[in-house]
Structure 1
Amino acid sequence: MTNAQVLIIGGGVMGVSLMYHLTKAGWKDVVLVEKNDLTHGSTWHAAGLCTHFAHNATIQELRATSVRLYRDTLPQETGQDVGFHPSGAMRITRNPDRMDEFAHVAGLSKFTRYELEILTPGRIAELHPLANLDGLLGGIYEPDDGHVDPTLATNAMARIATQNGGAIQRYNPVLSIRREGDVWRIETQKGAINVRHIVNAAGTWGWEIGHMMGLNIPSVPMLHQYLVTDTVPEVADRIAAGKMELPIIRDPEESWYVRQERDGLILGPYESEAQPWSVDGVPPDFGANLMPPDFDRVEHIIEAAMARIPALGDGGVKSVVNGPITFTPDANPLIGPAHGLQNAWLLTGSSMGVMEGGGAGWFLAHWMTHGAPPMDALAVDSRRFGKWADRDYRVAKAVECFGLQFGVHYPYEERPAARNKRLSPIHDEMLERGAVMGAAYGWERPNWFSDKTGDTATHSFRRPNWFEHVAREIDTVTNHVGLADLSVFSKFEVNGPDTREFIDTVGANTAPKPGRIGLTHALTPAGGTRSEFTVAMLTDDHAYLTSAAAAEEMDWDLLKEHAVGFNVAVSNVTEDRGVLGLMGPKSRATLAKLTDQNLDDGFPWLSSKIIQIAGKTVLALRMSYVGELGWELHAARSDLRDIFLAIETAGKEHSLGFYGAYAANSMRLEKGYRGWGADLTTERTPVETGVGFLVKPEGHEFTGREALKARMSRDNRWEMVLLELETQEVDPFYAHPVFHNGKAVGIITSGGFGHRTGMALALAYLRIRGLRDDLTVEILGKPCKATVLSTPPYDPDNLRLRA
């Protein structure tokens, strides 16, 4: 019998990186078990590419941390080279939209200080003289990129980890996993291990280990092949002449990458017809194995690569690597707590394991040792997929992600695979009325409404085809009455004698009085914003909470953890309830036709009441995220259709129409309302985010209280501001850098066009508080003037909300 603090299952680059970082953080009693040898599965056969290119700051930091680790830290600690080649890298394109994407990523990178260079064709020729420039518009250069030997890097981390007290058990497969009291008991081939923390870092076997843990791990092994050439004369001549190694080059339109390998080249294609492998379990004897080459699947991509890099045709094929790599439904790794399990963690599912592994181990080690991630975790949080992400979903999305490995990442992009997993009770009614749907945490929700049957959204970095449709929806809400399906909200109930105390301590605000509605922000131990709940106190012993759709599993975990020690029952009623939003100056007149409830003085702003509509019981919350008089109407799922039809009929004389998520986003920006997951993140406190009026640091206890108070007193805390931008060509969306006197000082977290005010608006964090003059925002490489608004531009006194 072995006892340990942590057991890591999986000896690939991800698991070994975690062991390395945990032991460096002082956790000595760490054991790693591997069914074969270190790197077996996917790590050993990886091409080892390392990049700083990313659309998200957290993903970029994972990759940048990996580069620093492989390039600098490990050689310094071990005294040995781990095979990192600082070759640099570039992406080239003939697609104008891709150039917009490159400009957007370059803008984000100016803020994160990993600056990338936009390339002209001439500059491409300077950097990569073997490239054929025909048809190219330009590209982007990543000067600090390179490639590493995956085996050398993994073994170097393992060496340091064992020196720091960790233990590695090779050729010791896990047979079973179960919870016994306060510990995890893992039966392995070499005996039982009892541990406090368990980590699934099994990679190719991640789904199987998850199944033993009682989890649904939405990852799928996908076969990826690359070929290695013999000597390429042009490359050999460069080496003989003492020239620098060629930069890695990627052509996302043709879906391939090429890098130098000694005096030859490696070509890696990503075909659109992807091939899942061993979806329901990897063969027991699989380890450091490969599949036979399958050139038929990638022949057209090879031909395209040879046309772009003609030298590829001058070197014969020396070897072909065809092995599994794992993909999640969005191609990002699964990092963080396992939903519903105590002291269980995931570090798996990375399609870019070597590229992200060094940083991923750092990220999870910080989370485990500090109780919160070091950066915003939403892009990687292992709970961003729920039980609805079933086998069909994970396979379809993995195939889609593999085929779109080099797809353009548009703002507001909606991908088509594996849709209709979670449907509102009025889904069909929304479609009949012209809803163009998007996906939010598995739910189908109306993004906007079209007057054309079968209309779809165009993807663009500029104004899309739904811009005018959204303007009409907003006009309806502003001047008449709009109806929205808000059923995607996460919904929870708290019942019991300790309900008020529970609410008082779950977040930084106190519970509202019975019949009233409030907002509270649950914090991390470091004082960052973990969750945002709308709280309706129905009675002193009954509260109803709602939060963002994507937060369902995260918030469910939080509430259950907080309930320990309280005399309360907490339940997740997300699937049981539907929600309608009835908003606009005619919302009261519409609702008055359906209920005897006094909707004037008897139903003030931010209050709740139980009412009857069409003979159905409805919890009516007088609140609005769009800045107009209105109600959220919450009801049993089975009753929502009848309620919807009754409201629609009652609203006809008031020109009732419908609005979707895009219209709501535009209107909330005009009010300066912050959004969880975009503006509200674990990195920043509610005070920095501009909702400090909802924070009551004295008089009640809550997680992160002392850290919050300390951060509130610091002069270097950040500040969120609402900006008006002078731009006509493109509206802001997210991740645009903010400059002051030529220096990147901030980042846009959300943005859009405000149709009621005629303004391009954005919420942004500034690293330096108090900046008001000489601010510009760079959108797709072009600067535009930015003005800080001291008050929201629409109804700053909330007269319409209080009407």
Structure 2
Amino acid sequence: MKTHVKALVVGGGAVGTSIAYHLAKAGWEDVVLLERDELTSGSTWHAAGLLPLFNMSYATTHIHKYSVDFYKTLEAETGLNAGFSVVGNLRMAQTKERMDEYRLYATTAETCDVPYEWMTPAQIKERWPLVNIEGLEGAIFHPTDGYINPADVTMAMAKGARQRGVTIERKWQVDGYEWTGSEWKVTLTKMVEKGGNLVPSEETTTITAEHVVTATGNHAQRTAKLLGIKIPAIPVEHQFIVTEPDPALVEYRKNGGAEHPVLRDADAKWYVREERGGWILGPYERNAPARFEYGVPDSFRADLFPLDLERIEEEYMSMIHRLPSSEEVGLKDDFNGPICYTPDGNPLVGPAPGLRNMWLAEGFSFGITAAGGTGYYLAQMMVEGEAEIDMASLDPKRYGSWMTTEYAARKNEEAYEHVYILHHPDEEREAARPLRTAPAYDRQKALGAQFGSVNGWERPNYYGPLDAPADFDHEARSFRRGGWWQYAVDEARAVREGAGLIDATAFTKHLVKGPGATAFLDWFTCNKLPKVGRINLTYALTDHGTTRTEYTIVRLAEDEYYLISAGAWTAYDGDYLRKAADDKKAEMGWIEIQDVTTQWGVFAIAGPKSRDVLKEIVKDADPETVLGNKRFPWLSCRDIELGMVPVRAIRVAYTGELGWELHHPIEMQNHLWDLLMKAGEKHGLKLVGGRAQNWLRQEKSYRAFGHELGRDATPLEADLPRFVDLSKDFHGKAKLEETGIRSKCVTVLIDGPEDADPWGREALYTEDGTRVGRLTSGGYSVAFGKAIGMGYVSPDLAVAGTKLKVKMLDSLWDATVTEDSPYDPKNEKLRADG
């Protein structure tokens, strides 16, 4: 075995072999893949091999599409047939709401060049007469989709990897990782057969690697312990059954009938495909348990769990309803094996938290579908520094250190159960909640707050009726304007006309200070640093000049800064910040970084009457002037006292109105809440949730990280030159200038349907029907009385007045590019004095 390698890939399933293959294809030599047993001996061997393109995630859809296209090329390269049956994928709908889900997905699919067709029940029956179309509304059909043999495609990728110089070593288990400061020292133990089990031998060795990738599947918890990190990838039981040959199916095929596509009756919670004249049924039932929460037993190899037919009886009976010929067919085989999940159902792909040159590829619930694309895009990240698409939504650091095994297990069970449950864009899942709550949570709940979960935090989405039943929010969800919509409209209008109070406690907050802090932040971010007592909006860039993180920087002293970033990305932002500071300490001096997110609560108060509310409770010798422009101008920070609460007040408002962020000691939050509520009574203060705030920020063309801002566009492409100081040197500057403007961010006003607004996943077209871009945000504008959205188009179209079309509900709707910040473009309301 080699003793030093460029990259060590741990795990010999479909994902691991794909990563090794693509690293070698990208030009890396000395790549070694380790497998503790035999290739495919994990979940790969018992996977059903389906290749579903359907996914509401932009990044995951790209990954799945690459896999489908890539697998079709393997036989020509390796001579091995991967068993790809391109039969298509028919996703049926029993309800109009399910068809709305497919319509929303379809426009996302268009942005990724995924082909699809619509089918009526009659067309389904005509093409596949064995299907009972009773109760169907229609279907979406992916003609390029199908299924593949998981073992064969893995072996084909393994052969392709070997042909490109990869060494594959079997029966070696990793027992330790040690970072030496420049590379990983990995301790290995030879595994041997003993009594049918795989056990460690006395033979050990050590291999050093510049980079390590873990693709350990069901063994992710063991990997986490060895690395001293948390990985919320825990398997859940998944059952599927194989029937004996169905005489009707055999006869149909004998008479020239085309093979059935992969059939998915989402409302019945199952998939079905043909298998040697019979059927494979794979249900996603309720109450499937998580397994191996604390590690896989040594005795568990390519094993299965006992089948629990009672648990899938409902799904089995619904298959018989949809395929009546299967009723008299016996069961030939059954499988109940572990399939890894994560709390949101998407894999963990990218750099490991806190570690250098350690990459994770864990938590694949659709591992065969994702394997090819994961290898391709992860190899880009490792070799080139970034992938061609924004992979942030799959980053392992989207879960912070607050995450526990119990949380992951319960959320993973929920993610499994929700595979076929309607994925409303306004969906909020209930498992493991509430968990992280700010002190004012109970007060907000009593006032009708309907909460969403952001990085584990409970944050009001909107305020519904005070007497709302427990399931009010669930019943209010829709792919159109849900039952919550009017509440959000009223909240948004209150901010524009009076005053609104928003809980922004979940904001990520870091304190950066020390002799090296100023030099470091000046290099780390692309805008000028603010003066003491002032604030600036700025961006930390990737090596490729794209946007890695958005910060509001408050300068507290010459060498002390308070950094505010998105609440969903605390670990993601903190990890990048700390690693960058560590790299620069020797050059720039000592830098101290503290995550103070949980120490500070935040209330945002905004609206033309917001100053009047604060005047009621501010403690100052001259309360009439303390909040005026002379003493407290826009984009400045002041320490003030509200009642008995010391407040770090920042004059900025994400809603685009006169307003302040009130950062306060979190233990004093309830006192401050009560003060604000009492003071606001006579000024009509209204409680406002995140959905109204999202609409309001689009009226100001405020870009949001994870939407308009990300690792696939530079700040200049986001049309934010005012926040980029090209007169100074900063990280990523050369690549930013070299990249130029490939596409440009615009705001559009939309004459859409009366009962729906865009969600920020829709395709954009020119008036002649040419697809030219996509929305990244969407919603409703109370200022303009119509739908609004933000997105990217080619620079020549990013001109105010340009006429476009937006694909919504399978129809094209008129849209017009507006000037940037269509509401209050001169920021007169933000600067208002009083």
TM-score interval, normalised by the smaller of the two chains: over 0.9
Q: Deviations over 1:130-164 (max 9, x none)?
A: 10011111010010001111111111111221232
Shift of 1:256: 0.9
Residue 766 (str. 1) matches residue 766 (str. 2): no
* Structure 2 Cα separation of the partners of residues 261 and 345 of structure 1: 37
Partner of residue 477 from structure 1, selected from 470, 489, 495: 495
Structure 1 contact 51–144 (Cα < 8 Å) conserved? no
User: Paired residue for 2:435, among 421, 425, 434?
Assistant: 421
Q: Does 1:665 align with 2:694?
A: yes
Query: Contact (CA 8 Å) 2:182, 2:210: kept in 1 or not?
Result: yes
Task: Compare 432-441 and 485-494 and name the one that shifted more.
Answer: 432-441
Verify the 8 A CA contact 1:448 1:659 in the aligned structure 2: yes
- Residue identity matched to 2:314: H
Displacement of 1:684: 1.1
- 1:324 shift after superposition: 0.8
**Structural mapping, 1:266-277, within 5 Å:** 266-277=280-291
Residue of structure 1 in register with 2:196 after alignment: none
**Is contact 2:746–2:820 with CA below 8 Å preserved after alignment?**
no
Task: Report the CA distance between 1:520 and its aligned residue.
Answer: 1.0
Cα deviation, 1:458-486, whole Å, max 9, x if unaligned, reads 11011111222222222332233222211
The answer to whether the Cα contact below 8 Å between 1:507 and 1:521 also exists between their aligned partners in 2 is yes
Please state if 1:462 is matched with 2:480: yes
Q: Once structures 1 and 2 are overlaid, which stretch shifts more, 46-55 or 475-484?
A: 475-484
Q: Letter of the 2:760 partner, please give it.
A: Y
The answer to whether the 8 A contact 2:115-2:144 is kept is no
Q: Aligned to 1:706, which of 734, 750, 756?
A: 734
The structural deviation recorded for 1:314 is: 4.5
Native 8 Å contact 1:127 1:247 kept in 2: no
Q: Identity of aligned pairs, percent?
A: 38
Distance verdict in 2 for CA 1:767–1:54, change over 3 Å: farther
> Pairwise mapping of residues 502-651 of structure 1 onto structure 2 (< 5 A)?
502-564=520-582, 565=584, 566-567=588-589, 568-593=591-616, 594-596=618-620, 598-600=626-628, 601-651=630-680
Q: Which residue, out of 322, 330, 337, partners 2:344?
A: 330
> For 1:219-257, what per-residue CA distance to the aligned partner results, in whole angstroms no more than 9, with x for missing partners?
221111111122222332344334432111000111111
**Residue pair 1:17, 1:361 contacting (<8 A) in 2 also:** yes
- State whether residues 388 and 421 of structure 1, in contact with CA within 8 Å, keep that contact through their aligned partners in structure 2: no
Supply the distance in 2 between the matched residues of 1:175 and 1:450 (Cα, whole angstroms): 53
Deviations 1:575-619 (A, max 9, x none): 111111111222222223313272111111001111222233221
Matches of residues 787-802 of structure 1 in structure 2 within 5 Å? 787-802=816-831
8 Å Cα contact 2:81-2:156 kept in structure 1: no
**Shift in Å at residue 449 of structure 1?**
1.1
Aligned to 1:497: 515
Aligned to 1:346: 360
User: Do the aligned partners of residues 240 and 768 (structure 1) sit closer, same or farther apart at CA in structure 2, a change above 3 Å counting?
Assistant: farther
Displacement of 1:398 in angstroms is: 1.1
Query: What SS is found at the alignment partner of 1:413?
Result: coil
Kindly provide the CA deviation profile for residues 116-143 of structure 1, in whole angstroms up to 9, marking residues without a partner as x. Answer: 1121112212332210011111010010
Give the secondary-structure state (helix, strand or coil) at the position aligned to 1:173: strand
Query: How much has 1:293 moved relative to structure 2?
Result: 2.3
Q: Secondary structure at the match of 1:497?
A: coil
Question: 1:131: which partner in 2?
Answer: 131
1:81 paired to 2:81: yes
Q: Alignment partner for residue 388 of structure 2, among 349, 374, 393? A: 374
- Verify: 1:721 aligned to 2:749, yes or no: no
SS in 2 for 1:784: strand
Q: How does 1:34-73 map to 2 (within 5 A)?
A: 34-72=35-73
**1:55-110: CA deviations, max 9, x gaps?**
122111111111112112x1121122111111111011111110001111111222
Residue matched to 2:194 = none
The answer to whether structure 1 residue 2 and structure 2 residue 3 are counterparts is yes
| More moved, 500-509 vs 213-222 | 500-509
Identify the range of structure 1 (129-138 vs 382-391) with the bigger mean alpha-carbon deviation. 382-391
Q: Give 4+ residue runs of structure 1 displaced > 3 Å after superposition.
A: 771-774
State whether residues 52 and 144 of structure 1, in contact with CA within 8 Å, keep that contact through their aligned partners in structure 2. Answer: no
Give yes or no for the alignment of 1:254 onto 2:279. Answer: no
Aligned partner of 2:505 in structure 1 is 487
- Give the direction of change, closer, same or farther, for the CA distance of 1:254–1:419 in structure 2 (3 Å limit): same
What do residues 289-344 of structure 1 show as CA deviations (whole Å, max 9, x unaligned)? 12232212112211110110122234322111111111111111110111111111
Task: Give the stretch that moved more between structures: 644-653 or 375-384.
Answer: 644-653
Aligned to 2:716: 687
Q: CA RMSD in A?
A: 1.6
Structure 2 partner of 1:735: 761
CA contact (8 A) 1:474 1:756 kept: no
Note the alpha carbon deviations across 1:425-449, whole angstroms, 9 max, x for none: 2222222222111101110001111
Whole-Å separation in 1 of the counterparts to 2:670 and 2:822: 36
CA contact 1:94–1:136 (8 Å) conserved in 2? yes
Task: Answer yes or no: is 1:302 the counterpart of 2:305.
Answer: no
Letter in 2 for 1:282: V
Separation in 2, partners of 1:417, 1:734 = 26
In structure 1, what is the equivalent of residue 195 of structure 2? none
Secondary structure, aligned partner of 1:359: helix
Q: Which residue of 2 aligns with 1:409?
A: 423
Write the deviation string for residues 344-390 of structure 1: whole angstroms up to 9, x where unpaired. 11101010000111111112111111222321213311111112221
Q: Is 1:170 aligned to 2:170, yes or no?
A: yes
Structure 1, unpaired ranges of 5+: none
- Counterpart of 2:797 in 1: which secondary structure? coil
Tell me if structure 2 keeps the 8 A contact 1:31–1:166. yes
**Equivalent residue number for residue 27 of structure 1:** 28
| Structure 1 counterpart of 2:100 | 100
CA deviation string 1:607-654 (max 9, x = no partner): 111122223322111001001111101122222222222232333332
Q: Classify the secondary structure of the residue corresponding to 1:144.
A: coil
Which residue number in structure 1 is paired with residue 232 of structure 2?
Answer: 218
Q: Is the 8 A contact 1:493 1:544 kept in 2?
A: yes
CA distance in 2, matches of 1:592, 1:53: 53
Pick aligned residue for 2:703 from 652, 660, 674:
674
Q: Which residue of structure 2 lines up, in the alignment, with residue 116 of structure 1?
A: 116
Residue type of the partner of 1:148?
Answer: I
Distance, in Å, in 2 between the alignment partners of 1:326 and 1:722 is 40
- Post-superposition shift, 1:489? 0.3
Distance 1:329 1:548 in 2: 20
Please say if residues 227 and 321 of structure 1, whose CA atoms lie closer than 8 Å, have aligned partners that are also in contact: yes
Q: Counterparts of 1:578 and 1:196 in 2: how far apart (Å)?
A: 42
* Structure 1 counterpart of 2:614, one-letter code: L
Aligned amino acid, residue 565 of structure 2:
S
8 Å contact kept, 1:232–1:263: yes
Structure 2 residue runs of 5 or longer lacking an equivalent are 190-203
Please give the per-residue CA displacement for 1:137-195, whole angstroms capped at 9, x wherever unaligned.
10100100011111111111112212322222211112222333333222211312222
Query: SS where residue 469 of structure 1 aligns?
Result: helix
Give yes or no for contact 2:290–2:410 (8 Å, CA) kept in 1. no
Query: Could you say what secondary structure the match of 2:251 adopts?
Result: helix
Tell me the CA shift for residue 746 of structure 1.
1.3
